[in-house]
């Protein structure tokens, strides 16, 4: 009887964790939904960053030793998005 009482809480603890999403999963779902809603052509990096290239430059390609200037905007998924 003791073994049953001991294992039951452990079973409940581990079975409940299967359906828990991480914050990264929740955030990714929100970002993907926004991308789909606004028909954006976004690319996801290995680190999880999504980016959209509005326009390509016309200059020479930078090298590993080049200094570059980048203009970007970042938005939170739970605030007002630009239209």
Tokens of 75: 């938005």
- DSSP letter string, 11-57: HHHHHHHTTPPPHHHHHHHHHHHHHHHTT---EE-TTS-EE--S---
50 contacts 42 by C-beta, under 8 angstroms: yes
> pLDDT tens track of the chain, all 83 residues?
454 444 445 455 555 555 678 888 888 998 999 899 989 999 999 998 898 888 888 888 899 999 988 888 887 766 655 55
pLDDT confidence of residue 3 = 45
């Amino acid at each position: 009887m003791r073994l049953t009482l001991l294992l039951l809480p452990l079973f409940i603890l581990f079975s409940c964790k299967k359906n828990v999403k991480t914050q990264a999963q929740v955030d990714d779902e929100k970002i993907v939904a926004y991308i789909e809603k606004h028909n954006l052509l976004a690319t996801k990096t290995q680190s999880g960053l999504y980016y959209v290239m509005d326009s390509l430059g016309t200059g020479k390609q930078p090298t590993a030793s080049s200094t570059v200037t980048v203009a970007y905007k970042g938005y939170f998924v739970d605030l007002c998005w630009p239209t």
